[in-house]
Amino acid sequence: MKADFHDRKRKGDEDHPPVREVTVRLSQPFDLEQSTECGQAFRWIREGEHYYCVIGERVLRLRQSGSNLHAAVHPDVGYFPTLELVGDVFRFDDKVPDILRELSEDRIIRKAIRSHYGLRLIRQDPWECLISYLCSINSNIPRIKGDVERMSVRYGHPMDFDGRRFYTFPSVDALAGAGEEELRSMKLGFRAKYVLSAARRIRDEGVDLLGFRKRGYEESFAELCTYFGIGPKVADCILLFAMDKLEAFPVDRWVRRGIEILYFNGQKMTDKKVREWSRSHFGRYAGYAQEYLFYGARLKELAAGFTNRTSSA
């Protein structure tokens, strides 16, 4: 990716400090809307042409115009840190053209890539991702977003930017110090005990979640599955979206059904079989394959198309 620094410094005041934008000239496939709205991350907010997300202790604001991505960070960190933050979040270190070329050997994924060219994985903070996906158990995207936001409002720190208040994600200590009933009062339901257990274990054992990025997939998967509430699907989501394990292939009932229809003519399979087959079939970039195959409502679209092709063959 190439970047230019445009000094679009708004006249600031005490409540609204000046903002500078970095313009990234995109040299790889990238679609901001699809990448932030596909359901892999839960804190992105769209307002008009801008997308906002709290990343650590800062707010990232993005706008895409063709092959240019305009980024601003509050509080301002300057040119290179802004560029590095954007590149890290959207995995500009991945050689996406090569990844897509390799995956396109599969004819079904080839169609999905053509339909949603520019969809990228988002690299998330491991702690926030782990808690977010514990909140995802037997839930849906609007509810997960609500759960994460309520915890942030209660236990995070406020930041004002562009006339809107944002909140940092709670620290490990903040959630570990909460009570289960207090978490339940924020509509977490049965997930409250999972969140509290994970926070206290990570605090008490001094778990280095970033260290998982340096460990192998199988070892990381096995350890995550020892956490209360984390099963194979949630473990794979955390590994894919936060631990740099691109071979992870999260499987829920919709993904399982999709694989059954698209690749096995409707033959019934277990989640474990689908996970094992998918990781073997799609290989080192199975996570990218999963994201392209099951973005939004594409499952029904692809399944219908596949059925039509096989019936007319």
Contact assessment for residue 238 and residue 215, using Cβ atoms and an 8 Å cutoff: no
Cα(84)–Cα(21) distance, integer angstroms: 13
Cα(218)–Cα(38) distance, integer angstroms: 26
CB atoms within 10 A of CB 34: 17
Cα–Cα nearest to 122, from 94, 145, 89, 95: 89
- Assess whether 233 carries a catalytic annotation: yes
Active-site residue, from 214, 233, 272, 273: 233
What are the Cα distances from residue 265, in Å, to 151, 194, 275, 308? 43, 37, 17, 12
Element (H, E) at 183: helix 180-184
Longest dimension (CA), the chain: 68
Per-residue DSSP letter, 269: -
Contact assessment for residue 33 and residue 121, using Cβ atoms and an 8 Å cutoff: no
Q: Would you state the structure tokens that stand for residue 253, as one six-digit string?
A: 């009932």
Three-state secondary structure call for residue 25: strand
Catalytic residue IDs: 233
